[in-house]
Amino acid sequence: MKNLRTYGEAPFTIAVIHGGPGAGGEMAPVARRLACDYGVLEPIQTVATLEGQVQELARVLKEHGTAPVFLIGFSWGAWLSFIVAARCPAWWR
C-alpha cells in the first residue's frame, strides 16, 4: 500500500500520524523506536481534503490495525487523530 509503512511485527496496535502536507515520513524515527516492542503503522496522508484524510486514515487503521489502536499524532496529525478517534471512540485509544 503506497500510503502505509509498517514497523515491527503484527499485531499493529500503535499508529504514528505525521503533520501537515509534505510531512509524510517525519514520524519514522518514533515508529522505529516503538517497533522495538510493538507493531507500528505509519499512514501517509495522500488526500487533500479534511474529510478525505479522515476517511483515508480510518480505513487504513481498520484494515491494518488491531483494535484498540493507540494514535500518536504530531501537529496536524494530532488533530487528524483526534477527529478520527472522536468519530469511532470504541476503536481507538
Read off the pLDDT of residues 37-48 as tens digits, 9 standing for 90 and up: 999 999 999 999
pLDDT of residue 93: 55
pLDDT at 25 over 70: yes
- 42 and 16 Cβ atoms separated by less than 8 Å: yes
What's the maximum distance between 2 C-alpha atoms anywhere in the chain? 34
Read off the pLDDT of residues 26-72 as tens digits, 9 standing for 90 and up: 999 999 999 999 999 999 999 999 999 999 999 999 999 999 999 99
Cell of 20: 501537515
At which residue does the C-alpha cell 499508529 appear?
15
Q: Is 30 exposed, middle or buried (0-12, 13-18, 19+ CB in 10 A)?
A: middle
Classify residue 49 by its DSSP letter: S
- Please name each of the domains of the chain with its CATH number: 4-87 (3.40.50.1820)
pLDDT of residue 20: 83
Complete edge-to-edge strand list for the sheet that includes strand 12-17: 4-7, 39-43, 12-17, 70-73
The pTM of this model reads 0.92
